[in-house]
Amino acid sequence: MSLFTNHNFSQAWHALTAQDPNHRDTASKDLAFWQQHAQGYDANASTPDRYAATLAAIRAYVRPTDTLLDVGAGSGRFAIPLANDVQHITALDHAAPMLDLLQHKQASQQISNISIDQTTWESANVAQHDVVLAAWSLYRVPDILAAMHKLIATTRRTLIIVTSPGNAPDDTPMHLYFYGALWQAGVFPEIKIAWEQPTGEPAPQPVALVVWERQ
Ligand SMILES: C[S@@+](CC[C@H](N)C(=O)[O-])C[C@H]1O[C@@H](n2cnc3c(N)ncnc32)[C@H](O)[C@@H]1O
């Protein structure tokens, strides 16, 4: 009998996401979504008061000599500013409209140390990187436990998963599911909370960083 019979966080995550009527459970559904929403997402997400504290928290884990893999890099909200902090970034994403926005920013800001890898995480074939970042991008993988094993194997030093710790109106503590899936994959992460204060919001908004450092 499996050691994890009563602690199957991966299965719990799949059961949870399956309940969501908006769950984009296939790559094609997700690609169709980003075809429609890439510009809108970028305009909203790239407001600094929505990510500045999270970026600062990520920066505390990176070094100038690092290679960094950004899984689900999207339009580059983190990859673009982090390019100044590390030696090289691989921006991996399966959605061309998002990567087009990232490439446009890269060109206009004359950033030359970001490589694009247009693929899904589940089919990606990537070398180890010092730091692996997955920010808001693990919502539709077909097998979350396999995705976690792959993230761990690809991490040379530090793995950072950024997600919601249960903000209104969807109060799901997603960080705990990801923590559990990482634990199930055999590692012991830590959880850090960054606080964003978006303009117009009455209270600061928590963002969770689930961080595993290879010993
Ligand atoms: C919500 S956006 C987040 C983008 C960026 N990390 C950020 O924080 O602004 C999610 C991104 O993850 C990408 N994505 C989702 N699932 C993916 C997968 N399995 N493989 C590769 N990219 C994926 C989507 O195409 C999208 O660009």
CATH code where residue 70 lies: 3.40.50.150
Helix axes 27-45, 96-108, angle to 10 degrees: 30
Q: What is the mean pLDDT of residues 197-214?
A: 94
Residue 178 CA to residue 145 CA, distance in Å, equals 9
Any domain includes 4: no
What is the pTM for the complete model shown? 0.96
Tokens of 92: 């991996």
pLDDT, tens digit, 9 for 90 and up, residues 2-13: 555 679 999 999
DSSP labels, 16-85: HHHH-TT---SHHHHHHHHHHHHHHHHHHHTSGGGTHHHHHHHHTT--TT-EEEEET-TT-TTHHHHTTT
pLDDT at site 3: 58
Atom of ligand 1 nearest to the CA of 140: 16
Any domain includes 186: yes
Q: What integer best gives the mean pLDDT of the chain?
A: 95
- The best mutation among 13, 137, 140 to test binding of ligand 1, ranked by most ligand atoms within 8 Å of the C-beta, falls on 137
Any domain includes 100: yes
Helix (H) or strand (E) holding 206: strand 205-213
Tokens of 19: 């309940």
Any domain includes 1: no
What is the count of structural domains for the chain? 1
pLDDT, tens digit, 9 for 90 and up, residues 154-188: 999 999 999 999 977 778 999 999 999 999 999 99
Cβ atoms of 179 and 210 within 8 Å: the answer is: yes
Any domain includes 42: yes
Tokens of 28: 């094609």
Any domain includes 77: yes
Instruction: Please work out whether the CB of residue 51 comes within 6 Å of at least one atom of ligand 1.
Output: no
Residue-range definition of the domain harbouring residue 75: 9-17+25-213
Question: Residue 191 has what DSSP assignment?
Answer: E
Any domain includes 3: no
Report the chain's terminal Cα–Cα distance, integer Å. Answer: 29
